Amino acid sequence: MAPIGSFLALAAILFCIGLYGALTKRNIIIVLLSIELMLNAANLNLIAFSRLGVSANVAGQVFGLFSMTVAAAEVAVGLAILIALYRNRNSTDVRDMNLMKW
C-alpha cells in the first residue's frame, strides 16, 4: 500500500495546478474546471485520510460523498450563472466580468 504522504503530495500538486489555472485562464468555463480540479484534490485528501489517517474510519468517505454532492450543486448553479452572464454580456471572458469595479 502506498503511504499516505504520496496521496497527499499528489493532492497538493493537483491543487496547485488547479489554483494556477483558476488565476490565469481567461475563459470562465476553464476557470470553473480548474476549481473542480481543486475540489477533487481536497476530496482525495479526505478519502486518503479515511483509509490511512491516524484514526482511519469510514466517516472520511461520508464527507467525500457530501463534498461531491455539494460540488455537483455548485457546478449546476455556476453554469447557470455563466449562461445568464453570457446572455447579458455575450462573452465568456472573465476580464469582461468587472461590474464590481470602482
Partner 1 sequence: MIAYAWLVPAIPLVAYLLLLALGRRVHEGVAAAIGVLATLISLVLSLMIFVDVAQGGGQLPYLWTWLTFGPGPGHTWQAGFEVNSLNALMLVVVSFVSTLVLLFSRGYMHGDPRFGVFYQYLLLFVFSMLGLVISPNFLQLYVFWELVGLCSYLLVGFWYEKPEAAAAAKKSFVVTRLGDVGLLAGIILLYLATGSFDYDDIARAIQTGGLQIHWIGPQGLATLGALLVFLGAAGKSAQFPLHVWLPDAMEGPTPVSALIHAATMVAAGVYLVARSFALFDASPVALDVVAYIGGITAILGAAIGLTQRDIKRVIAYSTISQLGYMMMGLGVAAYSAAVFHLFTHAFFKALLFLAAGSVIHAVDTQDLGRMGGLWRRMPVTASTFLFGALALSGVPPFAGFWSKDEILASTLAAGRPLLFALGMVAAFFTAFYIFRVFFLTFTGRYRGDRVPRESGWVMTLPLVLLALMALGAGWAGAPFTGYALERFLGEPSGASEAGAGPGVMAISTAVSLLGIGLAWLMYGERATSPEAWSRSLWPLYRLSFHKFYFDELYQAVIVRPAFALGKAFDWVDRRIIDGIVRLAAEATLAVASGVRRIQTGQVQTYGLITLLGIVALIAVSWSLLWGVRS
Partner 2 sequence: MNAVSSWFGGFIWTGQTVAFFLLAVLVVLAAVTLLQFRKVMHMALSIGLVFLGMAGMYVLLGADFLAFAQILIYAGAITILMLFAIMLTRHDEVEEEERAGFRQWIAGLGAAALGAVMLWAIRTTAWPPASAQPPWPAQKSVNALAETLFTGYVVPFELVSVLLTVALVGAVILARKEE
Q: Which contacts qualify for 66-74: CB closer than 8 Å, 24 or more apart? A: 67/39, 67/42, 67/43, 68/43, 71/36, 71/39
Secondary structure tally for the chain: helices H, strands E: 3, 0
Instruction: Return residues touching partner 1 (CB under 8 A).
Output: 19, 22-24, 31, 94-95, 97-102
Binding test (CB under 8 A) with partner 2, winner from 10, 42, 94, 97: 10
Q: What cell does 18 get?
A: 488547479
Q: Does 96 bind partner 2 (CB under 8 A)?
A: no
> Taking the complex as a whole, how short is the minimal distance between the CB of residue 1 and partner 1, in angstroms?
30
Select the binding partner of residue 100 from partner 1, partner 2, none (C-beta < 5 to 8 A, by kind).
partner 1
Residues binding partner 2 (CB under 8 A): 1-10, 12-21, 23-27, 29-30, 32-33, 36-37, 40, 43-44, 47-48, 50-54, 56-59, 61-62, 64-66, 68-77, 79-84, 86-87, 92
